[in-house]
């Protein structure tokens, strides 16, 4: 390689090491396999450009900028532990690269094992799929996205990093029956409820990790019609799922983030005053006290116990 290329590779490696240290400081990457994935997969290949919000709108940073200072700024930003806006259309965020520490938390929560087959809903930049490929091997990873442009871009980024999993343009709400069965399904886009089509595509005992409201729901699948689980304790904010299962979420009131989670989860089942009274009466519950049950063509969210006094039906998926 040329001196310039060598210097760039060294700089990118330094930034990756710094990112790993930062994620570890949050208590993530306890599994050496995932630590190795974050240390070795070059995130900058998956964000050749991204947008930074500013007072005058979005500013585009990219790898080919003729200004070396702006190129350095792009590279440093690519390895910051923050979400990056990667696609903006008509001023609206369409796709983003998730915060790496949140990705680490999700990947460790998936509890994957050698030989597991994983379906990812929402291809994004392809970086999340690349981390899965590093851990499991390309043939065990399938990622789908409704947007053909996003799927093709993810495929190109993955190839540049040396990975060739199955990348399909498809409605993630329908899963991917042609590649089933799966041991794990992970969504990187917010959902209003769990798509019923996913469960028959899972092996018994599979895990499903998906964002609902502003939380991360981890479900254990019993069979094609039953699954149950609780939310992780971390907040999580994702671009919403587009496609047949997409819904326009009701806006949440400004205030405590934990109340915003409850209010977003119960939707129209409670008005703001009722939701606030419940939240206060139950001691301002954290996310992990909530869960979801899917059974016999119904699904509901609950507080503390599936059969307890507080339960709310979720929208049809």
Catalytic residues: 95
How many other CB atoms are found less than 10 A from the CB of residue 312?
Answer: 18
Angle between helix axes 100-110 and 32-40 (nearest 10 degrees) is 140
In degrees, to the nearest 5, what angle opens at C-alpha 208 toward C-alphas 155 and 232? 110
Q: State the Cα–Cα distance between residues 306 and 308, nearest whole angstrom.
A: 6
How many other CB atoms are found less than 10 A from the CB of residue 1?
Answer: 8
Do the Cβ atoms of 193 and 317 come closer than 8 Å?
Answer: yes
How many other CB atoms are found less than 10 A from the CB of residue 271?
Answer: 10
**φ, ψ at 145 (rounded to 5°):** -150, 140
Q: State the Cα–Cα distance between residues 262 and 170, nearest whole angstrom.
A: 31
Handedness of CA 7, 8, 13, 17 (dihedral sign): positive
Q: State the Cα–Cα distance between residues 23 and 148, nearest whole angstrom.
A: 32
> Taking Cα atoms as reference points, which of 166, 155, 249 lies closest to residue 211?
249
Length of the chain (residues): 317
> Taking Cα atoms as reference points, which of 58, 122, 126, 124 lies closest to residue 88?
58
């Amino acid at each position: 390689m040329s001196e310039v290329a060598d210097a760039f590779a060294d700089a990118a490696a330094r930034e990756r090491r710094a990112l790993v240290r930062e994620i570890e400081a949050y208590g993530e990457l306890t599994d050496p396999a995932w630590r190795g994935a974050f240390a070795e997969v070059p995130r900058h290949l998956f964000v050749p450009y991204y947008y930074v919000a500013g007072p005058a709108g979005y500013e585009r940073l990219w790898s080919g900028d003729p200004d070396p200072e702006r190129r350095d700024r792009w590279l440093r930003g690519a390895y910051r532990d923050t979400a990056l806006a990667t696609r903006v259309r008509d001023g609206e965020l369409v796709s983003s690269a998730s915060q790496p520490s949140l990705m680490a938390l999700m990947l460790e929560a998936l509890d994957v094992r050698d030989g597991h087959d994983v379906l990812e809903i929402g291809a994004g930049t392809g970086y999340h799929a690349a981390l899965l490929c590093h851990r499991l091997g390309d043939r065990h990873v399938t990622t789908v996205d409704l947007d053909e442009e996003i799927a093709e871009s993810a495929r190109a980024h993955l190839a540049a990093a040396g990975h060739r999993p199955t990348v399909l343009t498809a409605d993630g709400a329908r899963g991917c029956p042609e590649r089933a069965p799966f041991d794990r399904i992970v969504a990187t886009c917010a959902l209003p409820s769990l798509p019923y089509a996913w469960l028959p595509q899972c092996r018994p005992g599979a895990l499903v990790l998906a964002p609902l409201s502003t939380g991360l729901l981890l479900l254990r699948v019993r069979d094609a019609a039953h699954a149950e689980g609780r939310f992780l304790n971390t907040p999580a904010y994702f671009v919403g799922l587009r496609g047949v299962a997409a819904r326009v979420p009701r806006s949440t009131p400004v205030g405590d983030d934990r109340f915003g989670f409850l209010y977003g989860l119960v939707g129209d089942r409670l008005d703001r005053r009722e939701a606030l009274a419940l939240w206060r009466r139950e001691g301002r519950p954290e996310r992990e006290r909530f869960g979801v049950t899917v059974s016999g063509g119904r699904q509901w969210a609950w507080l503390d116990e599936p059969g307890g006094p507080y339960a709310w039906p979720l929208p049809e998926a």
